[in-house]
Amino acid sequence: MSATSQTIDQTKLDEFLGRFVGDLGAALSAALVVIGDKLGLYRAMSDGDPITAEELASRTGTDARYVREWLSNQAAGGYVGYDPASDRFFLTAEQSLALAQEGSPAFVPGAFQLASALIKDEERIAQAFASGRGVGWHEHHHDLFAGTERFFRPGYVANLVSSWIPALDGVQAKLEAGALVADVGCGHGASTILMAEAFPRSEFVGFDYHEASIETARRATSEAGLDSRVSFEAAPAKDYPGDGYDLVCMFDCLHDMGDPVGAAAHVLQTLAPDGTWLIVEPYAGDHLEGNLNPVGRVYYGASTLVCTPASRDQEVGLALGAQAGEARLREVVTAGGFTRFRRATETPFNIVLEARP
């Protein structure tokens, strides 16, 4: 049946078009959040004092006319406040925490940097739709690598040391006493460095197949003064070196792997007999209808643009997707030889899984 032959409910159409307007405004504003972050516009407003477009331009070495239009967009979206009596703009404390204070648990510009990078890769992904071939992580726009770290790091800052590790059976005590830890799929090393700072008696090795990310992680480790206990090496998940690890971590990356069962089997081989595998994955239910919500929309979008293509680019190409769900992940982990598997804890954005031999 064609759309023209269906009865149109004008109220429902208006509701849909209203949703579309909101989405279009968000899509256009994504690039402006990246610009505001890159040019320091948010940081220059972080004190919360009302400021004119001219004053903000002067603080940041930018053009006042462009800044005025940028501020107007941000005010229309609720990302900055506006006082019409004084014609000044400002950040509330909450907006400042989310937009201007990198390292805060609520920092969001990294998410927009990630999204804008994936939009730039649209043509490449469309070609993959037609061919069925993969698109490797390393083939994406360079902003994806930095954006991914900046997107996930706030969640790690808020949860990794305070709740995720304590939820694992006996792991915190091992780390406090001195343990050997592998962080597989470490990217720029944000999770590795956070753990190393929290547990000064333990040693950490980060692995990632992406050499450029490993180089960035090494620089970050040197800047943090952790070279004596933290190292990074370029290696794939199915072939990273070493054994006797007390803890192996995979943060938001198992679903990206072409052969996650093979990766699970390798983790099992490299763990100490009483070791633990920590798996952090995007929050998802086991059925599509349970994921049809704003969080699921974000993750399905990322999964279509980067996670599924990345898996398809590797051997096996299982393509779990970012919304695999706990039951499917259990199948993968137990197929790799693990006998114990449980959900240790969760957040609105992640499920935290514990696997043991």
Q: What's residue 321's pLDDT? A: 97
Burial 87-104 (b: 16+ CB within 10 A, else e): ebbbbeeebbbbbbeeee
Q: What's residue 2's pLDDT? A: 53
- DSSP letters spanning 180-243: EEEEET-TTSHHHHHHHHH-TT-EEEEEES-HHHHHHHHHHHHHHT-TTTEEEEE--TTS----
Return the closest-CA partner of residue 277 out of 218, 318, 336, 328: 336
Pairing of strands 271-282, 245-251: parallel
Please list the ranges in the chain whose pLDDT falls under 50.
1
Q: What's residue 6's pLDDT? A: 84
Q: What's residue 306's pLDDT? A: 97
Q: What's residue 103's pLDDT? A: 87
Amino acid at 272: A
Return the closest-CA partner of residue 168 out of 255, 105, 249, 264: 249
Q: What is the pLDDT of residues 305-343, one digit of tens each?
A: 999 999 999 999 999 999 999 999 999 999 999 999 999
Q: What's residue 1's pLDDT? A: 47
Q: List domains and CATH numbers for the chain.
A: 9-101 (1.10.10.10), 156-356 (3.40.50.150)
Tokens 């198992």 locate to: 254
- Alpha-carbon distance of 168 to 16, in angstroms, equals 44
Residue 131 three-state SS: helix
Q: How far is CA 254 from the centre of its chain?
A: 13
- DSSP letters spanning 262-278: HHHHHHHHHEEEEEEEE
Output the CA–CA distances (angstroms, integers) from residue 211 to 68, 149, 326, in the order listed. 41, 15, 30
Q: What's residue 61's pLDDT? A: 98
Q: What's residue 4's pLDDT? A: 58
